Amino acid sequence: MIRIRRDSSTAIIVVHEIYGLNEHMRFACQTLSGHGYDVFCPDLLGRGIPFDYSQEEEAYASFMGNVGFARALEPINHLLSSIEHEYRKIVVVGFSVGAAVAWLCGAERPVDGIVGFYGSRIRNYMDREPRCPALLFFPQEEKSFNVDELIAALSRKRNVEVHQYAGRHGFADPFSPQYNEASAEEAWGEMLTFLGRIHGQQGQLANSTPI
């Protein structure tokens, strides 16, 4: 697990992608920590070494076969139970499959907010609805489904704010070939404003350059 404490009253739980605790997740955790938050990122894969981007198919098969979305919630729920009395606010931030886990968490657990980056598998859980503010980011292009239809359906749900940016799945990952710097900076800016609002210091934590 990545664990960074800043004596904050707000904790952010980061839920990783199919690759595990790779450079992108460490970067995301360090960046969020740099804005004053306590950050936790559990290792859902339990394999120590993350998958490389060139192992996308293997990584996906490993996640779906050995973890899956229901089992991925177990360590997140355990972590929430262990820290909920330490913090005034807790937000779950997920990337890709982690965004779908965050979506489920927002529907099932008493968290204060969720953020999801390109959570394509949220489409499998459209019967759920977050009980807290939800901020979702999607790219213009997704190879496996109609992203515009999903965005339209999500936009009709309560508590959900959706943004779409130029690029493809992975646009916010500076270590990915799909990285789109302009879109990533906009999305991170929106997220930091959202987090600042939940934290109770609207605008204060979003003033510095996010990436």
Domain map of the chain by residue range? 2-199
Angle in degrees, CA 157, 42, 112, rounded to 5: 35
Q: Is 170 helix (H, G, I), strand (E, B) or coil?
A: coil
Task: Report the b/e string of 37-52 with b at 16+ CB within 10 A.
Answer: bbbbbbebbeeeebbe
What are the tens digits of pLDDT across the range 29-40? 999 999 999 999
Contact present, 88 and 66 (Cβ < 8 Å): no
Give the pLDDT confidence score for residue 132 in this predicted structure.
94
User: Which amino acid makes up residue 24?
Assistant: H
24: number of Cβ within 10 Å: 21
Give the pLDDT confidence score for residue 206 in this predicted structure.
36
Give the pLDDT confidence score for residue 169 in this predicted structure.
93
What parts of the chain have a pLDDT lower than 50?
Answer: 201-211
Give the pTM.
Answer: 0.91
User: At the top level of CATH, which class does the domain 2-199 belong to?
Assistant: alpha beta
Give the pLDDT confidence score for residue 130 in this predicted structure.
92
Contact present, 95 and 15 (Cβ < 8 Å): yes
Give the pLDDT confidence score for residue 203 in this predicted structure.
39
